[in-house]
């Protein structure tokens, strides 16, 4: 074989190897995308699935209650009633991790200011049946609201919603249909894709997501006084996203930055500034 023939054969081999390598990369990429599509909710929802303790063991005076969803699930919840029958009540929608036990410090802080508080777990959290999804959580929070109005007897004009991170998306969706007396969004993201893209910048997050949670879009349609709280050092939800949600709110009441606070710092979970913002909004909503 001539030098020219050997060279041509070598070039052909290289070309075939390049094609095979490209095909292999594409196959791997397709498999990764398929896995992300199939298992994405395991990345979005991080529940503590273990049953929680009895309410009174964590929050003295609290009651164990059951919420009935429209699709037939029974969800565990804790209700901490205020001493005054006419006190405002706060429906607390948790973030995407843990269980209602982690929100007990917030309930204690709000109760110290004379507010009633309902902590509940979504489906798949805290020993509850079912698997979480955007549609499922919308049913869960409606069951929580129905309990407060129909069982606990809280007047609609004294009911506030408090949403933490993912829970901010959950209560914003609820507030479009059932406006509360006041809405508190703690560390809200613009939408789930915007939050996910921060942590997975090389993936087509917006194209892959099943659950959307478009907070910034929905808040423009909410007819309720709205307070937005965020940590200026939040590493999970960028502070600028929370500020953009506040800017989009139809009835922004107050923007409360917590200086130097990260997403899961105690000062953001149940700090004095957070409790004050809820109490202040309760008073403002009563004043009209």
For residue 102, which of 276, 264, 278, 277 has the smallest C-alpha distance? 264
Q: Is the pTM of this model over 0.85?
A: yes
Which DSSP state fits 53? P
Domains in the chain: boundaries: 1-44, 48-287
Alpha-helical regions (H) of the chain: 3-44, 55-58, 104-112, 134-146, 166-177, 192-199, 205-208, 215-218, 239-248, 266-270, 272-287
Tens digit of pLDDT per residue, the chain (288 long)?
554 555 555 666 656 655 555 555 444 444 344 445 455 678 899 999 999 999 999 999 999 999 999 999 999 999 999 999 899 999 999 999 999 999 999 999 999 999 999 999 999 999 999 999 999 999 999 999 999 999 999 999 999 999 999 999 999 999 999 999 999 999 999 999 999 999 888 778 888 899 999 999 999 999 999 999 999 999 999 999 999 999 999 999 999 999 999 999 999 999 999 999 999 999 999 886
User: Helices 166-177 and 134-146 meet at what angle, rounded to 10?
Assistant: 60
Class of domain 48-287: alpha beta
């Amino acid at each position: 074989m001539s030098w020219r023939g050997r060279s041509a054969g070598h070039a052909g081999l290289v070309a075939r190897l390049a094609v095979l390598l490209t095909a292999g990369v594409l196959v791997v990429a397709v498999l990764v995308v398929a896995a992300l599509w199939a298992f994405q909710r395991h990345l979005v929802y991080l529940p503590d699935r273990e049953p929680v303790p009895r309410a009174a063991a964590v929050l003295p005076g609290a009651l164990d209650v059951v919420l009935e969803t429209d699709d037939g699930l029974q969800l565990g919840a804790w209700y901490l009633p205020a001493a005054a029958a006419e006190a405002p009540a706060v429906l607390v929608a948790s973030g995407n991790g843990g269980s209602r036990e982690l929100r007990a410090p917030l309930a204690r802080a709000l109760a110290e200011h004379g507010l009633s508080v309902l902590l509940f777990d979504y489906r798949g959290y805290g020993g509850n049946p079912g698997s979480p999804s955007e549609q499922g959580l919308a049913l869960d929070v409606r069951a929580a609201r129905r309990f407060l109005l129909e069982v606990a007897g809280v007047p609609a004009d004294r009911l506030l919603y408090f949403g933490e991170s993912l829970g901010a998306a959950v209560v914003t969706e609820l507030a479009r249909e059932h406006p509360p007396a006041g809405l508190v969004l703690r560390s809200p993201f613009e939408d789930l894709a915007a939050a996910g893209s921060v942590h997975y910048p090389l993936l087509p997050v917006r194209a892959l997501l099943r659950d959307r949670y478009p907070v910034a879009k929905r808040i423009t349609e909410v007819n309720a006084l709205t307070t937005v709280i965020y940590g200026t050092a939040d590493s999970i939800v960028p502070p600028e996203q929370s500020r953009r949600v506040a800017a989009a709110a139809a009835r922004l009441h107050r923007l409360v930055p917590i200086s130097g606070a990260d997403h899961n710092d105690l000062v953001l979970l149940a700090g004095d500034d957070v409790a004050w913002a809820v109490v202040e909004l309760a008073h403002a909503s009563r004043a009209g």
